[in-house]
Amino acid sequence: MSRTRTLLIGMAALAVGGAKVGVADTLYGEAQKLGNGFARLYVELDAAGAPAVLGVTFDQGMLEGLPTMPNTWSRCFDRNGNGQIDPHGECHGDYELELALPQELAGVTPFSWVSVNWNPMGHTPPAPPVWAAPHYDFHFYIMPREAVRQIRPGPCAELIDCDDFLRAQVPVPARYVHTDHIDVGAAVNDMGNHLIDSKSPELAPGGPEFTHTFIFGAYDGQITFYEPMITLAYLESRPDACVPIKQPQAWAVEGHYPTAYCIRYRTEEGMYTVSLEGFVRRSAG
């Protein structure tokens, strides 16, 4: 993790939900390639060393030259036992980048790593048909990487081991997840369960076109990741938007948690950012 310290004449300020948060330090991860471009993790810290922003920044090339066919070598399972992998029914088809968080955030925020997942054909059933659009998933994981790897492939749900599926279905205590986020059995190997926002506009009958939504990950009764899911078409529109994250009543682990996710094209830099923002320190309870 490289470090860029911003010595400012007057503190830089980031507006999140109407509040001004001073940014004293910015940390950047190593660049990783996907399509014709590169992505890297970045963290903006306040003067006390707490996170103000945790996000991924990437260039225009990340929207170009992308794979158009599903990945057939990871998150796959020979469900029918014929000795062959069918990319349209036995693979999730995503392409993943893994991005590590800096050591400076250990114990400050519950998040430990981030994945960027390109889905060239979107998500297949049982996911809602509207989510079949080509899109990116940005997973901000609380569950450590090695623990996520232990969620095995198998024939249940979305290609997950059946015993692991049962663990993925253990309900998160109601106080730790917003009531709009529901379990639809979307458990995935090497990832976990997905609690979708049942009120996301595109899911309503006659709703608008899918552009972006927010999902909570879960496994063994715990929240394991935060996930903005964003279509390629929406990113290509060069948006500048922040959306509140629906907050639970309580948090299982003490630390700094975000209150919004933001999707921006920064004209001056020619870069895109997808970020968690408006961090607030929460006590465990």
Which residues, in sequence order, are bridge partners of residue 195?
A: 183, 216
Contact indicator for 169, 158 with CB cutoff of 8 Å: no
- In angstroms, the CA 172 to CA 186 distance is 15
- In angstroms, the CA 121 to CA 102 distance is 32
Asked whether residue 91 is domain-assigned, the answer is: no
Asked whether residue 83 is domain-assigned, the answer is: no
* Structural domain count, the chain: 1
Contact indicator for 262, 242 with CB cutoff of 8 Å: yes
Asked whether residue 28 is domain-assigned, the answer is: yes
Contact indicator for 153, 161 with CB cutoff of 8 Å: yes
Q: pLDDT tens digits for the chain (285 residues)? A: 444 333 222 223 333 333 334 677 899 999 999 999 999 999 999 998 899 999 999 999 999 999 999 898 888 899 988 888 887 788 889 999 999 998 888 888 899 999 999 999 998 777 889 999 999 999 999 999 999 999 999 999 999 999 999 999 999 999 999 999 999 999 999 999 999 999 999 999 999 999 999 999 999 999 999 999 999 999 999 999 999 999 999 999 999 999 999 999 999 999 999 999 999 999 999
Which residues, in sequence order, are bridge partners of residue 65?
A: none
Rounded to the nearest angstrom, the gap between the alpha carbon of residue 157 and the centroid of all alpha carbons in its chain is: 21
Asked whether residue 8 is domain-assigned, the answer is: yes
Question: What's residue 189's pLDDT?
Answer: 96
Per DSSP, 68 falls in state -
* Closest-CA residue to 118 (of 132, 103, 97): 97
Alpha helices in 121-252 (DSSP H): 145-149, 162-168, 232-236
- Give the domain range for residue 57: 2-70+97-282
Asked whether residue 77 is domain-assigned, the answer is: no
Asked whether residue 81 is domain-assigned, the answer is: no
Asked whether residue 78 is domain-assigned, the answer is: no
Asked whether residue 76 is domain-assigned, the answer is: no
